[in-house]
Amino acid sequence: MRKFFGFLWRYKIYTIIGLIILAVIGGSIWKKNNSGVEYVYDKATFADVSDLVSETGNLQLEGQASITSPIEGVVNQIFVKNGERVGSGETLFSVKSNATEIEKAAAYATLLTAQSNLKIASQANGTHQAAVETARAAYLSAQVNHHNVSLWFARGYKNVATDRHYTQQEIDSAKATMDAAEQGLANAEQALADTTISVEAAQATLDSAQESYDSKTIYTVKASRAGTVYNISINVGDKMSVTAATPAAIIAGSDQIAFKAQINENDVAKLKLDQVADISVDAIKNKVFKGKVGNIDTIGTNTSGVITFNVYFSIDESDEAMRSGMSGSVNVVVDEHKNVLTVANAAVKPYQNGKAVQVVDTSKPKTGKTPALKYVPIKIGIRGADRTEVTEGLTEGMGVVVNSGTNQFKSNLFGG
């Protein structure tokens, strides 16, 4: 024992440090066991709950379309100005291609071949059209002859050529001739249909070849729709790229400002045409604009596994400060329940394939100062921004656990 205390005295500094560490650890453990968990509570109260669809988005002109160059090259001419109205298909600007002479020659050869093929297909189509008319005339004549022979046989007339009464055999022969003529007409019409398809295919090939050839020379960019031209961002001599981030111009079918937002697949199902919307624009402070749900895309966009749908909101009364491209947000009340029993959203927990809240279980002892909890299954209605409607399982005034703050050993010891 004397040796032990002698050892402690010899290394008294280390001994003191060790005792301090043990004291800190012991104090932390004692504090943890006696402080427990501090729960944050909420009470079930009656309130109004609104189910909102909320999303950010941007202002844009109605019917807005970006105009880009489909080829690589240099701006050759510009035919329109900002603010000018244009019709669908009207020329906007032209681009001189960067293609080499070899590429141009190859495209021209393909164009000539396509023109020749269309000419051949058109001639064949004309021949078959004539054949259809000939076959139709033969069928109509055979049809009339069969009708007459049948009628003359029924009335007992004589065949002038043979000076004998018409027979069933003559009726059958006329019928066979009519059937053959009908089949001949059907065959001619099918051949005409086939050549018509060939003409359409040849025309499509020619259009593609013409487009390809134009893209190797001077390509004319035309308006995809009627509207007003905005934001022309090009000048003669500028280089054009098919991957340019900024469009060469924008055409809008209307001067009316709208709001566009990308709504997730769960919320978009709640939206209906003409639902009232509240729209806020970040650049216009302290003002909310009334609007309505307009067009809703039927085909979603997949971005990294997240499906969203473009939704366009009309704005009842726009502001002169509004500019296309400004960011903002939209709120749509899709459902509203007045004076219903509610709890804080954070109090609602997943429980046994349903929902539940946690309450203090007075039938069980506390752990230190921490009360025991139990789950109370509930049924919920609509969920608002802050509170959730409870349709079954709770009564007014019941206290429920929202969240907790735990005094952990690690936190006490290291301050983390």
pLDDT band at 410 (very low <50, low <70, confident <90, very high): very low
CA distance 41 to 399: 6
Mean pLDDT score of the chain: 87
pLDDT given at position 26: 58
> 34 versus 96: which is more confidently predicted?
96
pLDDT recorded at residue 57: 96
pTM of structure? 0.54
Residue 12, pLDDT score: 56
pLDDT tens, residue by residue, 152-173: 999 989 888 888 998 999 999 9
Indicate if the pLDDT at residue 262 is higher than 90: yes
Question: In angstroms, how far apart are the furthest CA atoms of the chain?
Answer: 158
The residue to which tokens 């189910």 are assigned: 51
In the prediction, which pLDDT does 376 show? 94
Over the stretch 57-79, which tens digit does the pLDDT of each residue have?
A: 999 988 888 999 988 999 999 99
Integer Cα distance of 216 and 304 in angstroms: 36
Taking the C-alpha atoms of residue 416 and residue 410, their distance in angstroms, rounded to an integer, is 7
Provide mean pLDDT across the span 215-225: 90
Count CB atoms within 10 A of the CB of residue 213: 22
pLDDT, tens digit, 9 for 90 and up, residues 263-308: 999 999 999 999 999 999 999 999 999 999 999 999 999 989 999 9
The three-state (H, E, C) secondary structure of 251-289, written as one string: EECCCCEEEEEEEEHHHHCCCCCCCEEEEEECCCCCCEE
* Full DSSP string of 346-365: GG-EEETTEEEEEEE-TTS-
